[in-house]
Structure 1
């Protein structure tokens, strides 16, 4: 059994690199980056860890992955994004279809079952080790 240590280590190079790569793209993306930084450095208890994992990608239709896919679908729709209205009809329709495919693939292919399994194993009542 591992001992509980309340000290959260610094973010690893991969996460820091991803955060740096997304810096300054848009104020909304900067807010998302800030949220991920807070999550990565938060001292969470088991219950909160389960809740955060489920909210990130373990609860279809009510998680960050669903929100991300819906936002991509919105940004690729010329009805919702006026910047796309100057595209040719075929290109605009292709971009919309791609956004719809992202939303569909996220809903059907994102491994929520693995995130849910991690949540279940974190449950202090289910931990038998």
Structure 2
């Protein structure tokens, strides 16, 4: 093994995500929509790019570590709410009104759940642990 703690890869290489849970998830998300493919590409780039401590800290906060929900996790919650609201997604207007309300309510609940500060606690702690 290499590295002072015997946990690093040969030549300090960044391991590929393909044969990992992340790689499997990214593969499973393929061919849904061009926007999802862009997200997959961005996640793969973030996973394979070489980061320093500052960049890592900023990325963690940006992904899921912002105390006020101003992060990717919060944006996904807001997008789910938008996609489930007939006022912002005309496709839902073809549904009966009670079904529209159910869909919109579930989207609103998703946004609330994804904006829960408790979801960000561990990422925020990881960010704080990177302070040097």
Which residue matches 1:105?
Answer: 113
Distance in 2 between residues matched to 1:39 and 1:26, nearest whole Å? 20
> Does the alignment pair 1:78 with 2:86?
yes
Q: Is the 8 A contact 1:6 1:43 kept in 2?
A: no
Distance in 2 between residues matched to 1:13 and 1:114, nearest whole Å? 22
- Segments of structure 1 that go 5 or more residues without pairing to the other structure are none
Greater mean deviation of Cα atoms: 107-116 or 57-66:
107-116
- Segments of structure 2 that go 5 or more residues without pairing to the other structure are none
Which residue matches 1:47?
Answer: 54
The 1:101–1:116 alpha-carbon spacing in structure 2 relative to 1, beyond 3 Å, is same
Q: Deviations over 1:44-86 (max 9, x none)?
A: 0111000000000000331000000000000000010011010
1:109 Cα offset (Å): 5.5
Aligned residues: 124
Distance in 1 between residues matched to 2:118 and 2:101, nearest whole Å? 25
Distance in 2 between residues matched to 1:28 and 1:2, nearest whole Å? 40
Q: Is the 8 A contact 2:69 2:117 kept in 1?
A: no
Q: Deviations over 1:86-122 (max 9, x none)?
A: 0000000000000000011111255211101001111
Which residue matches 2:102?
Answer: 94
Equivalent position to 2:122, from 106, 110, 114: 114
TM-score by length of 1: 0.89
Equivalent position to 1:31, from 32, 38, 42: 38
- Which runs of 4 or more aligned residues in structure 1 lie more than 3 Å from their structure 2 counterparts after TM superposition? 1-6
RMSD: 1.7
> Does the alignment pair 1:7 with 2:13?
yes
